[in-house]
């Protein structure tokens, strides 16, 4: 190749390279360098609290009850009851646990649970009475749902021709309700719990009459509420006033009557009754008849006048 041609090609390449460099420099000047783009940051995930975990476990136990897997539900509820000390959690768990025992037919554990809460309500433990009322109410609800189940199938709970398993189940349910009735009577002897005890007694007695063996048994449990009310009235177990929470303690006061008797009258009334009684006693007293006195004779009276007076 001649030397002039080589120089020409070299100069052309240098001019092209210069043009390319100038073009890139102008592009960079027009578009400043943007900062590098980073991936969007995801918000940090919050750790679940103990309350969220406990609610999830309770929901899991409810799901087991819904599908009638009572063994798994009882296992989960008993573990929650041991691990949690929250009063609200304990209240929900106790009711669900009693429901699971009744639906499973484990009346021994149901009665033991009921008796344990009844013993606690005698102490000063807070919310012990409310817990017992909730658990006993679940027993009453379970008894009524059992009656409705038999009625929906066209069966009678008083039919003695039922299978042996059904008869035993009904008999255990009756026995559990009778425990609630007995314990509610004992609670009614305390003035602070008399109102709640009467309400519980009435509901338990009505449920027991629904599960009666025959007409005589049903009539007996319907009369149980009236008999208990009469006993409570005779023993001065007066229901607390809903207004001021006070009850009369004077033994001279009659149940259901605010008028005092005996020596509780006001002083003016006592004086008025005393005067009336005195006047009546004076009028009723018989005085001896008053005889007319003889005239006394004067010493100057003659003998003839004295003789005439003697005659």
Q: What is the pLDDT of residue 260?
A: 41
Whether residue 22 lies inside any domain: the answer is no
Distance CA 225, CA 206 (A): 9
State whether 177 and 157 are in the same domain.
Answer: yes
Q: Give the closest residue to 171 by CA, choosing from 120, 107, 126.
A: 107
Considering the domain boundaries, does residue 220 fall inside one?
A: yes
Are 117 and 94 a contacting pair, CB within 8 Å?
Answer: yes
Contact 252, 261 (CB under 8 A): yes
| Whether 83 and 176 share a structural domain | no
Give me the pLDDT at residue 234, please: 64
- Asked if 73 and 113 sit in the same domain, the reply is no
Query: Among residues 41, 73, 93, which one ends one of the domains?
Result: 93
Residues 169, 70 within the same domain: no
> Is residue 275 situated within a structural domain?
no
Query: For residues 19 and 13, what is the distance between their CA atoms, to the nearest angstrom?
Result: 10
User: 65 and 130: one domain?
Assistant: no
| E-strand stretches of the chain | none
The last residue of a domain, from among 181, 206, 234 = 234
Domain count, the chain: 2
121/151 same-domain check: yes
Segments of the chain with pLDDT less than 70: 1-8, 12, 24-45, 232-311
- Radius of gyration from C-alpha coordinates of the chain: 50
Domain membership of residue 152 (yes or no) is yes
Question: Three-class SS of residue 75?
Answer: helix
Give CA–CA dist 187/253, Å, rounded. 23
Does residue 141 lie within any of the structural domains?
A: yes
Check whether residue 202 and residue 113 sit in a common domain: yes
- Please give the span between the terminal C-alpha atoms of the chain, in angstroms, as a whole number: 214
| Length, in residues, of the chain | 311
Domain with 122, as residue range(s), is: 105-234
140 and 74 both lie in a single domain: no
Considering the domain boundaries, does residue 79 fall inside one? yes
Q: What is the pLDDT of residue 29?
A: 58
End position of a domain, from candidates 70, 93, 116? 93
> Could you tell me the two tokens for 268?
């003016």
How many CA atoms, within 13 angstroms, populate the side-chain half-sphere of residue 127? Answer: 11
Residue 42 lies in a domain: no
217 and 128 in one domain?
yes
Do 57 and 159 fall into the same domain?
no
Query: 79 and 113: one domain?
Result: no
H helices of 31-126, where?
A: 50-66, 70-83, 87-104, 107-121
| Predicted TM-score (pTM) of this structure | 0.61
Q: Are 98 and 113 in contact (CB under 8 A)?
A: yes
User: What is the model's pLDDT at position 190?
Assistant: 82
Residues 111 and 220 both lie in one domain? yes
Residue 70 lies in a domain: yes
- CA 139 to CA 98: how far, in whole Å? 7
């Amino acid at each position: 190749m001649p030397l002039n041609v080589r120089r020409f090609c070299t100069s052309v390449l240098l001019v092209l390279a210069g043009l390319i460099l100038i073009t890139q420099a102008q592009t960079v000047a027009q578009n400043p360098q943007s900062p590098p783009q980073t991936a969007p940051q995801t918000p940090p995930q919050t750790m679940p609290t103990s309350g969220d975990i406990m609610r999830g476990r309770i929901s899991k136990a409810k799901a087991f009850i819904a599908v009638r897997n009572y063994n798994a539900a009882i296992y989960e509820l008993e573990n929650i009851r041991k691990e949690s000390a929250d009063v609200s959690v304990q209240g929900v768990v106790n009711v669900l646990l009693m429901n699971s025992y009744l639906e499973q037919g484990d009346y021994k554990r149901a009665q033991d649970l009921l008796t344990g809460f009844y013993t606690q309500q005698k102490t000063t433990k807070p919310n012990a009475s409310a817990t017992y009322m909730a658990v006993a109410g679940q027993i009453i609800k379970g008894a009524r749902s059992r009656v409705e189940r038999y009625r929906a199938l066209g069966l009678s709970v008083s039919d003695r021709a039922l299978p042996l398993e059904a008869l035993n189940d009904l008999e255990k349910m009756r026995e559990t309700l009778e425990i609630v009735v007995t314990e509610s009577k004992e609670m009614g002897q305390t003035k602070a719990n008399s109102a709640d005890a009467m309400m519980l007694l009435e509901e338990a007695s009505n449920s027991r009459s629904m599960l009666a063996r025959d007409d005589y048994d049903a009539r007996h449990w319907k009369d149980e509420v009236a008999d208990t009310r009469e006993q409570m009235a005779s023993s001065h177990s007066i229901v607390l006033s809903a207004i001021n929470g006070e009850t009369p303690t004077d033994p001279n006061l009659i149940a259901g009557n605010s008028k005092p008797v005996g020596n509780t009258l006001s002083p003016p009334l006592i004086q008025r009754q005393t005067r009336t009684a005195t006047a009546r006693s004076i009028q009723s007293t018989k005085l001896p008849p008053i005889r007319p006195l003889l005239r006394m004779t004067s010493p100057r009276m003659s003998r003839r006048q004295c003789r005439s007076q003697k005659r």
